[in-house]
Amino acid sequence: MSVITDGDLLAPALPRPLTFAAAQAAVMANKRGKGFNTTDVETEFGYLLEEIAELHRAWRQHRARRPSAARRALARLRIRPLSAPLASPGPVRDELADVLLFALGLAAMLGLDAGHAVETKIRINAQRAYRQLPNGTRVRHAGRPA
């Protein structure tokens, strides 16, 4: 038996698969409906940073035990896969969603189409070339898109 809560009644109908545009509109509708900030960009950056910290804390608290060196070696050799990286995915999933939702709201407040921004950046990143420094760090090859 499913239970309908006030939250279910108030939740907007979202398309499946969810689009950036629909998610962005839902985030802003929720902010307006609950009287949250929709205009102060500086404040919204603060909230986004707070959510990133919450995500990091959730990951630290719910990550799986680091695999042994032998297990990592077996995974590198594709003999045995690593176990799941999270012991308890729920809290990390929820905090990741908070980060994404605040980013979507920030994009809306800035008048940006988040889906277009992500699509454009994926295309730019695909064009990028990287080189490896002697210490192993990979850096972007000069003269390529920013």
Q: Which residues bind Mg ion (CB under 5 A)?
A: 51, 54, 95, 98
CB of 13 to Mg ion, least distance (A): 24
Cα–Cα distance measured from residue 68 to residue 85, given in angstroms and rounded to the nearest whole number? 13
Indicate the residue among 49 and 82 with the shorter CB distance to Mg ion.
Answer: 49
Please report how close the Cβ of residue 103 comes to Mg ion at its closest, in angstroms. Answer: 13
Task: Give the residue with the Cβ less far from Mg ion, 44 or 98.
Answer: 98
Tokens coding 127: 């064009």
Shortest reach from residue 27's CB to Mg ion, in Å: 14
DSSP 36-91: --SS-HHHHHHHHHHHHHHHHHHHHHHBPPPPPHHHHHHHHTTSSPPPPSBS-HHH
- The residues, any chain, with a CB within 8 Å of residue 43's CB and separated by 6 or more, are 37
Smallest gap from Cβ 55 to Mg ion, in A, equals 7
Nearer to Mg ion, 21 or 47 (CB): 47
Nearer to Mg ion, 44 or 95 (CB): 95
Q: Which is nearer to Mg ion, 36 or 113 (CB)?
A: 36
Q: Which two structure tokens, joined as six digits, stand for 143?
A: 């003269």
In whole angstroms, the minimum distance from the beta carbon of 99 to Mg ion comes to 8
Question: Phi and psi (nearest 5°) for 141?
Answer: -70, 130
Which residue, judged by CB position, is nearest to Mg ion in the bound state? Answer: 98
For 35, the 3-state DSSP assignment is: coil
